[in-house]
Amino acid sequence: MIFEDTTSIISLDEISRELVEGLPVELNDARTKSKPWTRAIFIQLRVMGEERGMCVYSSHGPSNKGGWLLDLVWKPQGRREIVLAVESEWGYPSDVEYDFDKLMSVKSRYKLLLFNTGNQKESEEVRRRIKQSMEAYPYHLAGEEYLALDVKGIGIFRYYFRVPTNGPLAAVDFESLGEPLHLPAG
């Protein structure tokens, strides 16, 4: 596997839990406009990355390196690889799919997508679109891990997929990671 030495640094489960726990109380409603969500998410991810000794590149708000291709990336100090690639989109399912496609094009062990849907039908549409995108994409790397976080009024739902082999994938099935994470208590 090509991504061996990053597993001691982070896991997507750990990132998602720590991210949600660190969100401000003002975000206790998933219907809050996208700008406060985006700002809070990227501030928290910046802090988390810096606490782990990462160079954090972000196109949203202050970071120690500015934007770098995606909404946010973590890179180990003095090294060239990306450990975590993040995209966030609070728009229509087609907008979420567009941002997700950027994640597939980047070499990174961990890939995190954050999005917001208002109902089950919309959530299923987003997940159908990203599944189809992954099945159409021919350059997957074994060991890549994807986590999609759907921020809803009742909590943050997590969907996980680990790429089993290099190259095209015949089938992609994101698994739900248990109960939704709770929004900050207000």
CA distance 75 to 69: 13
Classify residue 124: in a domain, yes or no: yes
Range of the domain at 44: 4-176
- Check residue 2 and give its pLDDT: 47
Classify residue 181: in a domain, yes or no: no
Q: What's 28's DSSP letter? A: -
Classify residue 165: in a domain, yes or no: yes
Tokens representing 105? 């094009």
Classify residue 184: in a domain, yes or no: no
CA distance 43 to 54: 14
Q: Which own/partner contact pairs does 97-101 have at CB distance under 8 Å and 24+ positions apart?
A: 97/126, 97/129, 97/130, 97/133, 99/71, 100/129, 100/130, 100/133, 100/148, 101/133, 101/137
Classify residue 113: in a domain, yes or no: yes
Kindly report, residue by residue over 98-154, the tens digit of the pLDDT.
Answer: 999 999 999 999 999 999 988 889 999 999 999 999 999 999 999 999 999 998 877
CA distance 103 to 112: 8
Classify residue 183: in a domain, yes or no: no
Counting the structural domains of the chain, the total is 1
Q: Is pLDDT of 60 > 80?
A: no
- Check residue 90 and give its pLDDT: 86
